[in-house]
Structure 1
Amino acid sequence: MNGTLQKHSGLIISLLVLGMASLTSLMLVDLFTFRPRPNGHFSGNGNPALLFVFLLVPLYAVWLGLVGRASYLFFGEGLTRGEERLGIVVLLILLLLLQAFIAYGYAHLIFHSLGSTSDPEATFAGSRGMNQYTNTAYVNLITYTIGTIIAILAGYVFALLRRRN
């Protein structure tokens, strides 16, 4: 096992650094997203969190690629030894379903607090689903986790396909 860790030490260090950088960017998006005021109006100050979204997207994309690669190597080594590791996969699928349910509820809560798009007094009135208050409905730790779980599952699928060929 120690030889495996040494062999993949660059990947492990990259995962740690990119994980911390992308999570920090995610926190900055949340920090700079305006909080809605019930029955309030748009602040008119634009969306400062958008600057951090542009930083987050490439970091998160590389993070997902590295997580998928690490998952591919992890499951691939197990599959060559005859270990299916299905328990991990089932757990990940259950976590993915739970996270999707939570993400839907969280987004619904945010949009409900902003009011209806047809109510002229609502914060959300006239917008088409994206404004300076809704970053956290789409860009949050829940969706971050969903993407990471999908990358892990994709690594498993690719390792399984490689084994079958």
Structure 2
Amino acid sequence: MEGKTSRKLHLIVYHRALFKAHWALFIPSVGDPNLGRSIHAVGDARTGFQVTFGRNYDVATTGRSHSLIFLGYVDAAYIDDASTSGDGSHTTDHVPKDRIEDYAASVPAPGPSLRPSSSSSGNKRVEIRDCQTWLKDFITVLVEAGVLHQDSLDVINTAPEH
């Protein structure tokens, strides 16, 4: 149960008709369940990804088709809203500012995983890594560190991929 000592974490699934969905972690602020912080890997499989922190993100005004899926609770000590809220406007950056973001930054963002058609690798199968695989890795790190309950892995492993 959320309170002064715990905070909710959600998976945001941004649905797309023709491609895999984009996934992000959403940490709602204490005062407004629609306003908070997003943590995700931004980029593409051709050029690679970068871990990005979205601050003062309003999930209610995104305009993109999405679902919010509850992942679990974390101790409030991992989240420092004061250091991440700034002047209240939505911003993005790549610099971790609290413990939960330190964990996110410790998980390497996927590099390029698509080969050019002229590649000499033949028919060797390549694992495509993306925002979904990165977020699964991030949640695994949080579970292994005891920050998030094991049940979160079941939630993320059964989340919609499209």
- Which has more radius of gyration? 1
Q: RCO greater where, 1 or 2, for CA within 8 Å and sep 6 or more?
A: 1
TM-score (norm 1): 0.24
Give the structure with the higher percent helix.
Answer: 1
Q: Which structure shows the bigger proportion of residues in strand conformation?
A: 2
